[in-house]
Structure 1
Amino acid sequence: MNESELIKKAKKGNKVAFVELLKLYEKDIYLFAKHMLVNEELIKDAVQETIMTVYEKIDDLRNIDSFKFWLLKILGNKCRDTLKRQRKILYLDTYIEKVHIENGYEEIEIRQCLEELSEDYKKVIVLYYFNDLSYKEISALLNISEGTVKSRLSRAKEKLSKIIDKEGRVING
């Protein structure tokens, strides 16, 4: 059975077709969640919640050709919800784990500096520097152009530098 047939059957409540449909995207789902979340437990939680939501709302899918996009959009939302619930925001935790702290700069102070950055800036900093993703990979993950990734990264570094300078501290990382 092809993807379109599986989607049509799943929309009609066929559980076997739904499971087969998810198997087609198993690797994509896992890799997408892995890019957004910190650990395996959180990944499993987000994937599980996504599967439940997709199952419950598959009737809402209007265009069967956009199933993968729809699925990954739900997963992205679940990953963000998981992060908020756990209060373990990827970019903050990753940053704190990997940065070298000097001159008495404490963890809470680093968190405060990062909190002053916009959500968009925090994402590109973590994905580029701490998850070692390329501009192209970040572009695909965040659905923005590579040029936008580069400009956000540049602006984020400038803003973070100003925040740190304002505090009178030095961070090497």
Structure 2
Amino acid sequence: MNESELIKKAKKGNKVAFVELLKLYEKDIYLFAKHMLVNEELIKDAVQETIMTVYEKIDDLRNIDLFKFWLLKILGNKCRDTLKRQRKILYLDTYIEKVHIENGYEEIEIRQCLEELSEDYKKVIVLYYFNDLSYKEISALLNISEGTVKSRLSRAKEKLSKIIDKEGRVING
């Protein structure tokens, strides 16, 4: 079966055709993801998410001649999402580690500092860094503007750093 036939059958729900279609692009998919992500675990996750999305959205593909482009575009978006998630995790982890090293804090103390933030600030920090939501998603979830999300996030980070005084102790109250 050629690519066009596999795509048509996959669009009709034929799982065998879908698997065969993916096998045609297996090497391209891996190399593309490897180019964007270096960690094998992250590559596997991005590829898996891409396969699920392609399977769920294949009916949305209008021009079957553009399947490969469409597939790689989805993969590129998944890789970028993964990189964004990793940067956020790395930023917060680096911040926590820096404070821990410089001030002798344990991670649990940093998390306790988060508890000292107001609910509005704590929500945006948790949603952005721990739940990996975008400004837009947080905006919709909390029913506030994206600008408000950005300013609350910025203020929350400022307040978090002020909770830790210059002598390296947690300020209570």
Q: RMSD in angstroms over aligned alpha carbons?
A: 9.0
CA gap of 1:103–1:150, structure 2 versus 1, over 3 A, is same
Q: Distance in 2 between matches of 1:170 and 1:82?
A: 33
Q: Distance in 2 between matches of 1:153 and 1:30?
A: 36
CA gap of 1:84–1:155, structure 2 versus 1, over 3 A, is closer
Q: Give the secondary-structure state (helix, strand or coil) at the position aligned to 2:129.
A: helix
Unaligned runs of 5+ in 1: none
- After the TM superposition, which segments of 4 or more aligned residues of structure 1 sit over 6 Å from their partners? 88-173
Percent identity among equivalent residues? 99
State the 1:40 CA deviation. 0.2
CA contact (8 A) 1:139 1:145 kept: yes
State the 1:26 CA deviation. 0.1
Normalized against structure 1, the TM-score is what?
A: 0.52
CA gap of 1:49–1:154, structure 2 versus 1, over 3 A, is closer
CA contact (8 A) 1:33 1:47 kept: yes
State the 1:21 CA deviation. 0.0
State the 1:87 CA deviation. 2.1
Unaligned runs of 5+ in 2: none
Range with greater deviation from structure 2 (115-124 or 9-18) = 115-124
State the 1:9 CA deviation. 0.2
CA contact (8 A) 1:29 1:72 kept: yes
State the 1:163 CA deviation. 30
Q: Give the secondary-structure state (helix, strand or coil) at the position aligned to 2:62.
A: coil
Q: Distance in 2 between matches of 1:39 and 1:109?
A: 31
Superposed, 1:124-139 pairs within 5 Å as: none
Q: Distance in 2 between matches of 1:27 and 1:136?
A: 34
CA contact (8 A) 2:163 2:171 kept: no
Normalized against structure 2, the TM-score is what?
A: 0.52
Q: Give the secondary-structure state (helix, strand or coil) at the position aligned to 2:38.
A: coil
Deviation per residue, 1:19-77 (Å, 9 max, x gap): 00000000000000000002100000000000000000000000000000000000000
Range with greater deviation from structure 2 (96-105 or 125-134) = 125-134
State the 1:84 CA deviation. 1.3
1:172 has 2:140 as partner: no
